[in-house]
Structure 1
Amino acid sequence: MSPQLVTLLLSWPEFKNPGRLWTLALLPLLVIAYFLALRLKGRTGIRYTNTAVLGAILPKQSQWRRHLAVAMSLCSLVALSMAWARPMGLERVPRERATVVVVIDSSQSMMATDVKPNRLDAAKTEAKDFINTLPDGFNVAVVSLSGSSSVRMPPSIDRAATLRAIDGIQLQDGTAIGDAIESSLSAIKQAPLGNDKKPAPGLVVMLSDGTNTTGADVAGAAAKAKSQKVPVYTIAYGKQTGYVDLDGKRERVPPDPKLLQQVSQATGGKSWSADSAGELKDVYKDVKSQVGYEEVRKERTAQYALYALAFATVAALGAVSMAARWP
């Protein structure tokens, strides 16, 4: 039996008609009846004293085959009962619509050259490659993260304009992660409604390399994103040994993965770390697998019916093997 099958059967799903699970009450009754039948059979004496003749007439019964057939029959009953109750499960399907806000840190620490040619230019290149891989129907917005975060491009399906907005991001002072989250939430509200007059789900992909230095409370902004059901996926970018020279003074600018991880966890997103352009490219591939799909509740009746058929087939083969006289 495959590990996936074992996991599925051991994990109790939700059901559309849980009242139909009353059939599972038959299971212990059948088990008791089976053991009683075994005990009664053991007490029954044989009518033939000549065991040699009896052995020639009747084939030996394999105990393990009998037990296997019964066990598989009971498993089939369990799977059929669950299928009748219409089990529900989560399935990952491609998103049809979404609004993705790409947040790029533009603070002075992004001039560090630990990532060639520097953090900001490398981040822009990989962010543009990421945007080009998103489905054409996705709206994409761009927010620059600095001491005065702003929406550089409102949600749009115009990829050329979005890429130009990324190219226009320049270095600025300060790092206000909380402000960037709030700007992202504002950008999501600007996205056009769908044909059903409902907004597309919003997601934020934030790349930053520094510690928050100013602006709104990060925890408060993350709580606001959670209340609006907007997950924030964070990328801590740069090496711990990174540094910049400001006003004739060399300052270390290591990324702060702990803070970014707290943001992603608080909003239901996911966090990554990358200290090179190559790693950032791989991270964006993971990000795409997250934002490009959604979990949808679907009925799994057919799946459980298939398992019931598999158990019943094994039980039938066991019964046939006991009835047949093999040469």
Structure 2
Amino acid sequence: MSLASPVWLLLLLPVAALVASYVVQAKRRSRYAVTFATLPMLERLIPAKPGWRRHAPAVLLVLGFVVLTVAASRPQIDVEVPRERATVIVVVDVSLSMEATDVTPDRISAASDAAQGFVAGLPDGFNVGIVTFAGAATVLAPPSTDHQASVAALDRLVLDEGTAIGDGVLTSLAQIASTAAVDGATGTEEVPAQIVLLSDGTNTVGSSIDQAATSAIDAGVPVSTIAYGTPDGTVDVNGETIPVPVDQASLDALAQATGGTGYAAESAEALDQVYDDIQTSIGFTTEQRDVTPWVIAVALLLGLLAAGFSLRWFARLP
């Protein structure tokens, strides 16, 4: 919880002074009673001591004052609100290293299945596009609200040589820009955009990751990355076993530089969980909501309780 006008908390000073005055007066009454009456006399005059009930109304009243002070400071809380629109580009590495079988049944098959589930679970109003990259980047499905077209595109991935991560990001940014231009031409308000990139290797051809990160920063588009696979992954090329470990460091650096989140997944199950997390983060935005009326209601309830207990126990208001 945050306070929009914390300066009003200065009103707690007179409340503190009121509490101090109450404590002092209570001590004076106690000394006065002991001075002018013997203990047996006190027991006859007040056979049933109120005990904690004597102070309960005052405590409730003070709590009510404190809560009212908080209300004057305009308390706000963060609330998750579903987005109605956004543009999401799903980028998938289709380099030959995605043939590795360290993930069941293999990296590319598990990646395709998980990405399809991710796209299918996004809100209907989101523009979703599919970009793949190996030696070059390819747009398999331009951003649109036709999510089925994106799901179908993810079902026809073809592997090739090379790993052009930078080109995959730059191509995605171009798709986001063209979608934004169309929205602007039709008078539609600007919508947020994000790139979700899955890869298992190091950038080997095309634009550098630094170039891609700079362009994403300039465009204000975060890139969330998924380092997919295990350190022990291998592929067979012409009878030779070649190790294809995941370059998580480069992907994490890209995500961090652009304001995205870097993830790692070493199994199909872990990848599903990563996509679920990204889906939640993209599908909702955090907004601050003023809760002053609710806080005032709590203060009023405390005041009513103080008055009710005082009338019930002492036949007077506090």
Question: If the length of structure 1 is used for normalisation, what is the TM-score?
Answer: 0.82
2 CA distance for matches of 1:227 and 1:311?
A: 52
2:183 is matched with 193
SS in 1 for 2:183: coil
Moved more, 153-162 or 175-184: 175-184
Q: CA deviation at 1:310?
A: 5.8
1:3 is matched with none
Q: How does 1:221-300 map to 2 (within 5 A)?
A: 221-300=212-291
Q: CA deviation at 1:56?
A: 4.0
Q: CA deviation at 1:247?
A: 3.7
Question: Once the two structures are superposed, what CA deviation does each residue of 1:63-84 show, in whole Å capped at 9, x if it has no partner?
Answer: 5x55665454333323222223
Q: CA deviation at 1:186?
A: 1.6
Q: CA deviation at 1:92?
A: 0.6
Q: CA deviation at 1:210?
A: 1.4
1 CA distance for matches of 2:159 and 2:13?
A: 68
The size of the alignment, in residue pairs, is 311
Query: Does 2:131 correspond to 1:140?
Result: no
Do the aligned partners of 2:3 and 2:73 also contact (CA within 8 Å) in 1? no
1:36 is matched with 24
1 CA distance for matches of 2:229 and 2:64?
A: 55
Q: CA deviation at 1:313?
A: 6.1
Query: Does 2:141 correspond to 1:150?
Result: no
Q: CA deviation at 1:319?
A: 4.8
Q: CA deviation at 1:19?
A: 5.3
Do the aligned partners of 1:111 and 1:120 also contact (CA within 8 Å) in 2? yes
1:160 is matched with 148
SS in 1 for 2:191: coil
Q: How does 1:94-173 map to 2 (within 5 A)?
A: 94-173=82-161
1 CA distance for matches of 2:143 and 2:92?
A: 15
Do the aligned partners of 1:144 and 1:152 also contact (CA within 8 Å) in 2? yes
2:77 is matched with 89
Compared CA separation, residues 78 and 158, structure 1 to 2 (3 A):
same
2 CA distance for matches of 1:196 and 1:266?
A: 31
Do the aligned partners of 2:3 and 2:76 also contact (CA within 8 Å) in 1? yes
Runs of 5+ in structure 1 lacking a partner? Answer: 1-7
Compared CA separation, residues 27 and 232, structure 1 to 2 (3 A):
farther
Do the aligned partners of 1:93 and 1:294 also contact (CA within 8 Å) in 2? yes
Q: CA deviation at 1:257?
A: 2.7
2:49 is matched with 60
1:304 is matched with 295
Q: CA deviation at 1:293?
A: 0.7
SS in 2 for 1:174: coil
SS in 2 for 1:130: helix
Compared CA separation, residues 136 and 70, structure 1 to 2 (3 A):
same
2 CA distance for matches of 1:217 and 1:67?
A: 71
Compared CA separation, residues 131 and 22, structure 1 to 2 (3 A):
same
Runs of 5+ in structure 2 lacking a partner? Answer: none
2 CA distance for matches of 1:35 and 1:43?
A: 13
Q: CA deviation at 1:43?
A: 3.7
Q: Which amino acid aligns with 1:138?
A: F
Question: If the length of structure 2 is used for normalisation, what is the TM-score?
Answer: 0.84
Q: Which amino acid aligns with 1:62?
A: G
Question: Once the two structures are superposed, what CA deviation does each residue of 1:80-102 show, in whole Å capped at 9, x if it has no partner?
Answer: 22223322332111111111110
Q: CA deviation at 1:200?
A: 1.4
Do the aligned partners of 1:103 and 1:144 also contact (CA within 8 Å) in 2? yes
Do the aligned partners of 1:48 and 1:54 also contact (CA within 8 Å) in 2? no
Do the aligned partners of 2:120 and 2:148 also contact (CA within 8 Å) in 1? no
Q: CA deviation at 1:138?
A: 0.8
SS in 2 for 1:103: strand
Moved more, 94-103 or 66-75: 66-75
Compared CA separation, residues 127 and 43, structure 1 to 2 (3 A):
same
Compared CA separation, residues 309 and 52, structure 1 to 2 (3 A):
same
Two-structure CA RMSD over aligned residues (Å): 2.9
Query: Does 2:169 correspond to 1:181?
Result: yes
